[in-house]
Amino acid sequence: MRSALAIAALAAAVAASSALGAGTASSGCPQGLIDYGGAKARVYCGPAKATVRLGTSVFKVVGGMCNRTATTILVNVGTIVIGKTTKPYPSYFGINVGPVPDTSLAKAKPAPRDGTYRGGIISISYRGKGYFARGDGVVTTLSSGRTKGTFTAKTIDGKPVSGSFTC
């Protein structure tokens, strides 16, 4: 049940971030929706990157985009699979801070400037498995005109997650 809710919430957030803009594609990156092991996947391209500590593992995800509105920042790096796939999940990092229209985050506290914010969604795929963190346990500090940030949280299954991202 939790994973189904997490996937539904994540898909809504991804759809919302896609609606905010496609970002800048780099050459050789097949940005957009693709078929992936019987599911759809969204490939993100661009300069955004993240370093993630998940439990005791540290990994980097590169090739992504950031969308900033007056009240929200959405970061998507790598490839996110939407639905159940027959393939291992590819590397992905996503964070949403602030309100996202037409999702469960529609009434989230705005994130209009650099600072520390509580709440939001973090989603990660690492070594073929997906992880999800949501709610007041997510703490994000934005800096450099909301082009950089650090985050800490716990996944739904209780694993500590922290790291940084740049746009």
Count of the separate structural domains present in the chain: 1
Cα gap 91→89, rounded to integer Å:
7
Domain that holds residue 149: 2-166
Tokens representing residue 163 in the block: 């790291």
Question: In one letter, which amino acid is 99?
Answer: P
**pLDDT tens across the length of the chain (167 residues):** 344 334 434 444 544 444 444 444 445 788 789 999 999 999 999 999 999 999 999 999 999 999 999 999 999 999 999 989 999 999 999 999 999 877 777 788 899 999 999 988 999 999 999 999 988 789 999 999 999 999 999 999 999 999 999 99
Which positions ≥6 away from 155 have C-beta within 8 Å?
A: 54, 124, 131, 132, 133, 161
pTM, 2 dp? 0.83
